[in-house]
Each structure stands twice: as structure tokens, then as C-alpha cells.
Amino acid sequence: MKWVTRERAKVDRIACPWLIKKFIDTDAEFLFVPADKVLSVAESKRAAPFDVEGVEFGHHGDKCTFDALIEKYNLKDAALFELAKIVRGADTDAKNLTPYSNGLEAIAEGFRIVSKNDFENMEKQFPVYDALYAFCKKLKQSS
């Protein structure tokens, strides 16, 4: 399946492709386009739009797109729920939601700065999400 979002990804727009590739669709393809082109590209390429206003896979209330994907695909993983809180804190105004959210936001911004494009950014950041997921699994096993 194809997925499309805004270019110059930072937190949610990198966390979501990681989630999709790991837990929803290992063959997923991602398109990053200017914000004003997301919906037209979604239609022309038959791609699912994400992390844009007014779509199913977007921010709703105090939750971010990562949460929307977990809910839609009925993912039942305590470590993912914990990771979702970190992502939500980093990607919304709830910066103090977890002790790790501010750090994730800083790391994501740094990767955005040093990456030549969104695909390189994903490649660099996916190991961060692998590590955070492992950390969240350990947290949940301890509790």
C-alpha cells in the first residue's frame, strides 16, 4: 500500500512509517510531498494520506497520528502504547507527557536537519524507534 504525507518530516511523520513497516504493512511505500499536494497525490496515487488535517490518520483531540494508526489497526501491544505516549508528547503541545518526549523531539529535529531528504531521515531514525520500542518493552516487563 502507498502512504502519503507532508515533506520535511520530524516526529509523527517518521514514527508512523516505522509503525506501519513494523506492524501493519511491511511492503508499504511512502511519498513525501508539499503540504498542499498531499490530498491530490493521495487521490492520484491511490495512497493513504497521513498526518494532515482532516484525514482518518491524523491528529484527533489530544492524540497524534501514531495513536490513530494503533487504534485503526487494533494493535494490542503494551510497549507500543508506551511508545505512543512518547511520540504524542514529542509531537504535540504535551511536551511533558513522558520524561522522554522532549528528547525524542530534539533527536527528530536533529535528524531532519542532517538528512538530505525524508527517505534518508527515515533510514536514520528507524533504529531510534527500534531502540525506543525495545526500551518500552523492558519498561512494561518491569511493571
Beta-sheet strands, E only, within 15-77: 29-33, 47-49
Note the residue count of the chain.
143
Given pLDDT bands bounded at 50, 70 and 90, which one contains residue 123?
Answer: very high
pLDDT computed for residue 117 by the predictor: 98
27 in Cβ contact with 2 (< 8 Å)? no
105 in Cβ contact with 95 (< 8 Å)? yes
12 in Cβ contact with 51 (< 8 Å)? yes
Q: Which residues contact 76 (CB under 8 A, 6 or more apart)?
A: none
- C-alpha angle 82/83/85, rounded to 5°? 70
Q: Which secondary-structure segment (H or E) carries 75? A: none
pLDDT in tens, 44-100: 999 999 999 999 999 999 999 999 999 999 999 999 999 999 999 999 999 999 999
39 in Cβ contact with 119 (< 8 Å)? no
- Average pLDDT (95-120) is 97
pLDDT computed for residue 86 by the predictor: 98
What mean pLDDT is reported for the chain? Answer: 96
Domain ranges of the chain: 2-142
pLDDT computed for residue 142 by the predictor: 81
pLDDT computed for residue 112 by the predictor: 97
